[in-house]
Amino acid sequence: ARQIAWTLENIRNLLNAAKMDFSDIAEATCFFKHAQDARYFQPACKDLGIASFPHIKVQGNVCRDDLLFEIDGIALK
C-alpha cells in the first residue's frame, strides 16, 4: 500500500511541476506485480485526494524486482 501511495505522490509532484494534475491524465496503465495488491489503489487515491482518472489495472511481472507497483501513462494539457 505504501509503494502505491509513494508512486502516486511522485506522479503528483511531476504533474505539478508541469502545471498539471491527475485530471490531465489521458490514459494510464497501473501495473501490479501481485493482483491482490490492486485493492490498495482506490484507498490510496482517496487518501491523497486524487479524483478518478482514466486507467486500467493489469497484473504482470513488468515491474522492477524491487517494486510491486508502477504506472505508465500519458498526460495532456
Whole-number pLDDT of residue 73? 96
pLDDT at 60: 87
In this predicted structure, what is the pLDDT of residue 24? 97
DSSP the chain: -HHHHHHHHHHHHHHHHTT--GGGEEEEEEEESSGGGGGGHHHHHHHTTPPP-S-EEEE-TTS-TT-SEEEEEEE--
Binned average pLDDT, 10 residues per bin, the chain of 77 residues: 96 97 97 96 96 94 85 95
Task: Give the pTM.
Answer: 0.91
